[in-house]
Amino acid sequence: MIADIKAGNEAQALADAMAMAPDAQKAFTDCTASKKSKLSVSKVGDLPTCLADVEALIPEVEKIIADFKAGNEA
């Protein structure tokens, strides 16, 4: 996204950010939903799904971090 902004391609940067939004919202929902089970010691609703959702976001976040490290910030 940062590289797109620097290149003047704001439309692509916005499209990339918007594409990530549903995945980020799903991860937030899965990770913050509370379980009602007496057996559960975790406050995370669906831990396996939460972890899978967060894992799916990692490649895009890594790209953003790499852009910052390379000095490609807008």
Helix (H, G, I), strand (E, B) or coil at 42: coil
Angle at 63 between CA 3 and CA 6, to 5 degrees: 10
Q: Show the DSSP H helices in the chain as ranges.
A: 2-6, 10-32, 47-69
Contact 4, 16 (CB under 8 A): yes
In this prediction, the residues of the chain whose per-residue pLDDT falls under 50 are 37-39
pLDDT of residue 45: 67
Nearest to 45 by CA among 32, 56, 55, 27: 32
